[in-house]
């Protein structure tokens, strides 16, 4: 049964600030539990900017539960392998057989355009009766006697029993409730999604996700939209950022960063969008996401560096976990009787630790990818020694999303590079 959207002006059960992938996926998850959900988006229309996303089995499992996986498969690509190569000499270092990954975890590894995944959730929210409002810029958050209230830039206010702040890396709620600053990695990302014909002569692997790791840079490639488009991401350390300059990550730095890389990477660099780039920022993990009836979600709670390709996934998982705890606490679908304090406490109890691990591992993974000199050689030796079907480094993240703290799997055991012998 599809619930009817609430009349304008009525108080919803849940108010979500932010209409990105985290906000919309959470709105859909909560609407599936019979809650009346209102989403406030600051832009004039719902949409996403960017290029490709990698969606691992811990997320395609959720898409399948939502009945959205087939649509995602139609719009995306199921690659055959994930291959890591050295960006200087193009040597293969290690690979994951993604068909075997699907057999192990029960769900596929998918790549999809960010706007396509956002569109899937937007259409799902409309079908589910979520109230979707644009041009609503939230500037302030307040607690009320039985919930929370947000103040908007136009002077109006909205309130609900619970407010979910899914307003991204530069979250107004995070600024007000936590007060910390973003952390710059001094790395910058350039992206491009181009017709496949533009790269077919560049030595690309159309059926794989390929990551070239090099000294202070890396380059990612994979097909999108049924193989008709090709996604590329170029990431490098900015000398201007290290020097403290405000204008950093500029196109001249892009060209210089990849000048010594292999042919396939160098051929891809001229295709990158040069009118926009993304400084790679995150925040230090925090232990408290719930402040009364205001809860942080997605990048507002745990913005990671992108090296594990889990940012959007974690936001989708957040909404799924929140909705599952709503279902556990619900009394015959009666939203008025829902124990929101118990729901939010359960959400925070399990998600904080998982996302802390992902954030910390993403930082370490970025360091590992960008090594130079002897450390690069030791890293390459470790990766070459890995068996294709060794899942010791993925089981903790690609498996089922934990609902309770004791369901969170043990992490992998790192291999200290200092213990790895160099071979001639």
Which pair of tokens denotes residue 147?
């919930």
Name beta bridge partners: 295. 164, 290
The rounded distance, in Å, linking the Cα atoms of 90 and 87 is 5
The rounded distance, in Å, linking the Cα atoms of 279 and 236 is 10
Phi, psi (rounded to 5 degrees) for 245: -80, 150
Strands 138-144 and 147-152: antiparallel
Enclosing H/E stretch for 271:
none
* Predicted confidence (pLDDT) per residue in 233-282, tens digit: 999 999 999 999 999 999 999 999 999 999 999 999 999 999 999 999 99
How long is the chain?
424
The rounded distance, in Å, linking the Cα atoms of 208 and 96 is 10
- Using only C-alpha atoms, what is the Rg of the chain? 22
Strands 81-86 and 92-97: antiparallel
* Predicted confidence (pLDDT) per residue in 148-184, tens digit: 999 999 999 999 999 999 999 999 999 999 999 999 9
Please give the mean pLDDT across all residues of the chain.
94
CB atoms within 10 A of CB 414: 10
The rounded distance, in Å, linking the Cα atoms of 384 and 423 is 12
Report CA torsion sign: 360, 361, 362, 363.
positive
Longest dimension (CA), the chain: 72
* Predicted confidence (pLDDT) per residue in 93-142, tens digit: 999 999 999 999 999 999 999 999 999 999 999 999 999 999 999 999 99
Active-site residues: which are they? 222
Whether 42 contacts 79, CB under 8 Å: no
* Predicted confidence (pLDDT) per residue in 183-242, tens digit: 999 999 999 999 999 999 999 999 999 999 999 999 999 999 999 999 999 999 999 999
Alpha-carbon distances of 73 from 47, 56, 229, 267, 278, rounded to whole Å: 20, 13, 15, 29, 27
Name beta bridge partners: 148. 143, 160
Per-residue confidence (pLDDT) for residue 2, from 0 to 100: 41
């Amino acid at each position: 049964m599809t619930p009817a959207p609430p009349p304008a002006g009525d108080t919803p059960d849940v108010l979500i600030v932010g209409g990105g992938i985290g906000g919309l996926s959470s709105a859909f998850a909560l609407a599936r539990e019979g809650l009346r959900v209102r989403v406030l988006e600051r832009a004039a229309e719902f949409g996403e900017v960017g290029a490709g996303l990698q969606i691992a089995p811990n997320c395609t499992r959720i898409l399948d539960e939502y009945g959205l996986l087939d649509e995602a498969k139609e719009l995306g690509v199921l690659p055959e392998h994930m291959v890591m190569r050295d960006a200087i000499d193009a040597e293969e270092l290690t690979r994951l057989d993604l068909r075997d990954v699907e057999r192990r975890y029960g769900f596929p590894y998918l790549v999809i355009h960010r706007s396509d995944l956002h569109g899937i959730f937007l259409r799902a929210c409309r079908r589910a009766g979520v109230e979707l409002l644009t041009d609503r810029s939230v500037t302030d958050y307040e607690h009320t006697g039985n919930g929370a209230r947000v103040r908007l830039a136009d002077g109006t206010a909205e309130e609900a029993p619970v407010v979910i702040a899914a307003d991204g890396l530069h979250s107004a709620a995070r600024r007000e409730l936590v007060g910390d600053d973003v952390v710059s990695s001094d790395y910058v990302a350039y992206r491009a999604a181009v017709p496949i014909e533009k790269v077919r002569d560049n030595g690309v692997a159309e059926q794989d996700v390929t990551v070239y790791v090099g000294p202070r840079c890396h380059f990612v490639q994979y097909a999108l939209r049924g193989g008709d488009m090709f996604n590329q991401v170029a990431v490098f350390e900015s000398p201007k950022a290290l020097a403290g300059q405000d204008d950093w990550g500029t196109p001249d730095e892009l060209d210089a960063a990849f000048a010594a890389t292999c042919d396939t990477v160098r051929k891809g660099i001229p295709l990158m969008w040069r009118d926009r780039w993304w400084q790679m920022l995150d925040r230090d993990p925090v232990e408290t996401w719930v402040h009364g009836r205001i809860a942080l979600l997605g990048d507002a709670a745990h913005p990671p560096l992108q090296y594990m390709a889990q940012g959007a996934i974690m936001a989708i998982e957040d909404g799924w976990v929140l909705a599952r705890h709503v279902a556990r606490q619900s009394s015959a679908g009666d939203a008025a009787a829902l124990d929101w304090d118990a729901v939010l406490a359960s959400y925070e109890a399990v998600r904080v630790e998982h996302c802390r691990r992902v954030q910390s591992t993403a930082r370490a993974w970025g360091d590992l990818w960008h090594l130079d000199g002897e450390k690069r050689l030791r890293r390459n030796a470790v990766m070459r020694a890995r068996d294709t079907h060794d899942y010791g480094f993925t089981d903790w993240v690609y498996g089922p999303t934990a609902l309770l703290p004791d369901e969170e799997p043990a992490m992998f055991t790192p291999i200290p590079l200092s213990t790895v012998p160099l071979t001639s």
